[in-house]
Chain A
C-alpha cells in the first residue's frame, strides 16, 4: 500500500544497508494521523513501516483587533482553531453595547455558540471560523468605545479580540434659535443639545 501524501521519504529506492528519512507536512488537526509504507526487495518478504504524526495541541486564534465605524453597522471577526467546540463571550466592559450572536460559522457551517461543531473538523485539520455582530448602534459620543470578545476552545487557552468603535462627531443644536426679550430685560430660556463642551461668543 502506498503511504499517505502528507509524508515524504528522502529516497524511494536503495541498495543494501541504508537509512530512509521521512518528513511529514504540517499537521494542524488535534488527533494523530497514521500511514504505512512498504519496503520491497526481490526474493525477500516485504516489510511494513508504520508512520504516525502527532496531533497539534488544541488551539484557537482570532483577529487581535476589530474596528467598528462610528456610524455603527456590522463587523465580522475571524479566526482559526482545531477545537471541537468554541464558546464566544463578551468580556470586560462593553461600551459599544454589542449583542453576542447565538451562532457563528465554523468550517463554513453555521454553528451554535458553545455547542460541539458538527463533524469535528478540528480533529483532522484546523478550520476557519467567523462571528458577525450586526445592528451595532452609532457612536453619538465624541469618545471611541471598546469591547472585548473572548473565544474559548473546548480545552486550551482562550483568545481575545479587542473591538474599537470610532468616536462620533460632535454636535450642537439650540432651541429656539430666535428669542425676544422684553424691554425690561426679563430672562428667556434656550435649550442647548450637545455631546461635548461648548462656548458662547
Chain B
C-alpha cells in the first residue's frame, strides 16, 4: 500500500492523505484528510501525472468547514465586530 501526503498549506498544518495499492494502472485512490477545524471550506487541486509525463488529470478536493449554528432573531444574527456569532454543532 502506498501513501501520498499533501499539505493543505492553509496554515492549519493539516494534510490530505491519498492511499492506494500501487501507483500504476487502474487503481482506486482513497482520499482522506485531517479534520478541518476552521470555519471556512478549503480547497486543493492535486495532479495525477503519468511517469512518461504525457498524460495528466487534476482532482479538486474541497473539505467542508465545521458547521456553525447561527442564532437569529427576526432574521437578524447576533454579530461581533461585524462577524456572525454562533456555536459549533
Inter-chain residue pair count (beta carbon < 8 A): 128
Q: Are A183 and B67 in contact (CB under 8 A)?
A: yes
Interface size class of B (residues with CB under 8 A): 35 or more
- Stretch of B48-56, B70-78, B79-87 lying at the A interface: B48-56
Judge if B6 is at the interface, Cβ distance under 8 Å: yes
A-contacting residues, B39-77, CB 8 Å: 46-52, 54-67
Q: Are A192 and B48 in contact (CB under 8 A)?
A: yes
Question: Which of B33, B46, B52, B60 contacts A200, CB < 8 Å?
Answer: B46
- Which residues of chain A have C-beta atoms less than 8 A from B52's C-beta? 142, 170, 196
Q: Are A199 and B60 in contact (CB under 8 A)?
A: no
- Which residues of chain A have C-beta atoms less than 8 A from B33's C-beta? 181, 185
Judge if A190 is at the interface, Cβ distance under 8 Å: yes
Q: Are A187 and B32 in contact (CB under 8 A)?
A: yes
Q: Are A201 and B47 in contact (CB under 8 A)?
A: yes
Judge if B26 is at the interface, Cβ distance under 8 Å: yes
A66 to B65, CA, bound (A): 61
Q: Are A188 and B51 in contact (CB under 8 A)?
A: no
Proximity bits, A177-198, B CB within 8 Å = 1, else 0? 1111111111111111111111
- Which residues of chain A have C-beta atoms less than 8 A from B59's C-beta? 174, 177-179, 190
Chain A nearest CB, measured from B58 CB (Å): 7
- Which residues of chain A have C-beta atoms less than 8 A from B32's C-beta? 181, 185-188
Q: Are B48 and A198 in contact (CB under 8 A)?
A: yes
Q: Contacts A169-B54, A172-B56, A174-B57 known; A192 to B28 CB distance under 8 Å?
A: yes
Q: Are B62 and A181 in contact (CB under 8 A)?
A: yes
A178 to B57, CA, bound (A): 11
Q: Are B28 and A194 in contact (CB under 8 A)?
A: no
- Which residues of chain A have C-beta atoms less than 8 A from B51's C-beta? 196-199
Judge if A171 is at the interface, Cβ distance under 8 Å: yes
Judge if B9 is at the interface, Cβ distance under 8 Å: no
Q: Contacts A172-B48, A172-B50 known; A177 to B35 CB distance under 8 Å?
A: no
